[in-house]
Structure 1
Amino acid sequence: VRIVKAWQANDKIVAMTGDGVNDAPSLKQADIGIGMGITGTEVSKGASDMVLADDNFATIVEAVKQGRKVFSNIQKAILYLMSCNVGEVLTVFMMTMLGWDILEPVQLLWINLVTDTLPAIALGVEPVEDGIMDRKPRGKKSNFFSGGVASSIIYQGILEGVLVLGAYQFGLHVGPHINNPQLQHGDALTMAFLTLGLIQLFHAFNSKYIHQSIFRKHTFSNKWFNGAILIAAVIMASVELPFMTKLFDVTELDPIQWLVILCAGVLMILIVELVKLVQRSMGKR
């Protein structure tokens, strides 16, 4: 008990294993008491927070590994969802403040329906990252916004909004309706709508790693994530089908306009990768 208290006095999270009656006080004092499921007495099991069913200490290490994976995946989902929503809010706010035409409510609802479901869920089942057990313990005061997540949400949301506004401006000057201002505005709004939706799918790849680069062999190892992005992209692009354009108040875009949208998505990845590179050079992992 004195050893457990000494570690706790140094702000450490203490796990204590035990199997005998005499271990019960220290199992109770520890932050996580772990009783032995095979050789442990009923008293030690009762005093524990969890029971190690196979009495194998390697299982504890694996549990820590899986726990870190769960925490990391929740962080990724939060980073993705909140940065995307910051981008949406910023886009609508700036378009309103500048007196531009703004996106329709049905368009924003469609974006949220497509991007906030399958991709976010798929991020929650990402496999364990390489080197996750080499990281230092998070500490008692850490939360899901720690480790650079909060700052990433802000700058990535702003970046997303800027790219969407840029696509809108491009839409006013490119395409087949240059001589028809009304149709040109429709094209620009459609480009803003599709850019806002599809750029979030590009950004989902950024969210797979908080500070590490996505240009690695394991980036596409999660088949659920790959499938979710593909399905979401098809659903998002389906608004361009002839029978869907009136429903979502969009126009049919030409290849040049689609190229602008795809370039915005690629820029989202490249700029975030550049920021991550700078962060890693500053020692963030």
Structure 2
Amino acid sequence: VSPEHKVRIIKAWQSKGKTVSMTGDGVNDAPSLKQADIGVGMGITGTEVSKGASDMVLADDNFETIVVAVEEGRKVFANIQKAVQYLLSANLGEVITLFVATLLGWTILQPVHILWINLVTDVFPAIALGMEKAEPDVMNRPPRTKESSFLSNGILPSILYQGVLESALTLFIYWLAGQWYHQENLAETMAFATLGLIQLFHAFNVKYVFTSLFTGKAFDNKFLNGAALLSAVMLLGVIVVPGINDFFDVTAPTLPQWGLVLAVSFSIIVLVELIKWGLRTSGLADKLSKQETK
């Protein structure tokens, strides 16, 4: 195949919206390597011209290395999606909570509470989600198109419904605490603790978009386990440690009240699992997983 024909073949596939990769090692491969979306040169046998025209160079000239690189790239992209899903759903939940509370005339969270939750529950779990291992079926998935974004493959609808759930549970615990205990400060404290713990439990939800958390490996990421534990200690510490809780204007709940907080917080996993099950059984999960969001 002449160099001109190689370029024409690549352009033909690109005109159909395909992402094209090209491997080559000679001077005559340089034009097609440059034209391809991903030009792969050979590090040992390749000429300097072909290496210069390539986007990636195989140091060992082993084509299996390309498969490893693709798998790593898919893992990185998926992990970024998980972090984006986690952060946006958490922040959406906070926005909806404050918006609804304002409409109802509730003082559900103080500014210092929001700042502490964002510092403690956003930073560490989001970083840990970026260290997730590749999912078993990552190489069985079809390649992404050029229109793919971090909100594709069902991420956007997941962010929306999960943010609503987080908000609903936080508003519920505040209302329930007010009805049962008739202490405004205690109701705020329980809402503060619940919102923070909901987000920590939810970090495990986003490990899988549609797959059940319990059929996968829920605790295989030691970084996420450690981040969730550290964040929980920091969150609860400001509530129970004397002096610090005065600064945050919170009061330590009793053991039964903590039990209620934990039950409502953990229900985010139960609710998301039920919705995932419904999406899988209805076939919507397959459709959404192929959805492209620009």
> TM-score normalized by structure 2?
0.92
Asked if 1:94 is matched to 2:94, the reply is: no
Alignment partners' CA distance in 1, 2:247 and 2:98: 20
Alignment partners' CA distance in 2, 1:101 and 1:25: 64
Aligned equivalent of 2:223: 224
Matches within 5 A, 1:35-184: 35-174=41-180, 178=181, 181=182, 184=183
Pairwise CA distance, 1:192: 0.6
Pairwise CA distance, 1:102: 3.0
Matches within 5 A, 1:265-284: 265-281=265-281, 282=283, 283-284=285-286
Alignment partners' CA distance in 2, 1:131 and 1:97: 45
Aligned equivalent of 1:213: 212
Pairwise CA distance, 1:245: 1.6
Aligned equivalent of 2:13: 7
Pairwise CA distance, 1:217: 5.0
Report Cα offsets for 1:107-140 as digits up to 9, x if no partner. Answer: 1111111011110000011011111000011111
Aligned equivalent of 1:186: 185
Pairwise CA distance, 1:101: 2.0
Gaps of 5+ in 2: 1-6, 290-294
Gaps of 5+ in 1: none
Matches within 5 A, 1:189-268: 189-216=188-215, 218-239=217-238, 240-268=240-268
Q: SS at 1:16's partner residue?
A: strand
**Matched residue type, 2:231:** A
Q: SS at 2:90's partner residue?
A: helix
Alignment partners' CA distance in 1, 2:43 and 2:276: 44
Pairwise CA distance, 1:186: 1.2
Identical residues among aligned pairs (%): 59
Alignment partners' CA distance in 2, 1:275 and 1:102: 27
Aligned equivalent of 2:3: none
**Matched residue type, 1:55:** D
**Matched residue type, 1:263:** A
* Contact persistence 2:108–2:174 (CA under 8 A): no
Pairwise CA distance, 1:6: 2.1
**Matched residue type, 1:193:** F
**Matched residue type, 2:14:** Q
- C-alpha change, 1:217 and 1:156, in structure 2 (3 Å) is closer
Report Cα offsets for 1:139-175 as digits up to 9, x if no partner. Answer: 111100111111111111111000000000111133x
Pairwise CA distance, 1:256: 1.8
- C-alpha change, 1:135 and 1:164, in structure 2 (3 Å) is same
Q: SS at 1:173's partner residue?
A: helix
Alignment partners' CA distance in 1, 2:215 and 2:249: 40
> TM-score normalized by structure 1?
0.94
Q: How many residues align?
A: 278
2:25 pairs, out of 14, 19, 22, with: 19
Q: SS at 2:109's partner residue?
A: coil
Q: SS at 2:179's partner residue?
A: coil
Report Cα offsets for 1:227-254 as digits up to 9, x if no partner. Answer: 0000000111112222222011011201
Q: SS at 2:23's partner residue?
A: strand
Alignment partners' CA distance in 1, 2:196 and 2:268: 13
Q: SS at 2:185's partner residue?
A: helix
